[in-house]
Amino acid sequence: MFPGGVVPERFERQVSASLEAFARDLRMAWPAGVASPVAGRFCLREGDTALEIDALPAGVRRLGLFELPQLTLHYRFSGGTAEARAALLTRLDRAMQRGGG
């Protein structure tokens, strides 16, 4: 996932989802609670580790006639250790996995 397995405090990802679908899936994946102080910003916490995710629309990806909305996600961790960041992200990623090849 990351070089040396160390999750950086800040990084970016591109995902295929609408903002509404991402928000719904994030809340289902993190039942401990997701705060959303402003549209497109999501905050979650596990112990001393906090994660803020800013989701920005990034256009549409087209595959033939099929259109997939895109988001750029900006992740920012605060507090906690490198191990705690990795554990939180691993848990979140597993919970948000979708079926497929």
- The DSSP annotation for 77-89 comes to EESS-HHHHHHHH
| pLDDT at residue 100, rounded to an integer | 55
**Confidence at residue 101, expressed as pLDDT on a 0 to 100 scale:** 45
The whole model's pTM is what?
0.89
Domains located in the chain, CATH noted: 3-96 (3.30.1370.80)
Q: What is the pLDDT of residue 6?
A: 84
Name the E strands within 1-101.
Answer: 10-16, 41-46, 49-63, 66-78
Residue-level pLDDT at 4: 75
pLDDT in tens, the chain (101 residues): 677 778 899 999 999 999 999 999 999 999 889 999 898 999 999 999 999 999 999 999 998 999 999 999 999 999 999 999 999 999 999 888 876 54
Angle in degrees, 0-180, between the axes of helices 82-96 and 19-29, rounded to the nearest 10: 110
Question: Could you give the 3-state DSSP secondary structure of residue 55?
Answer: strand
Residues 1, 6: Cα–Cα separation, whole Å: 9
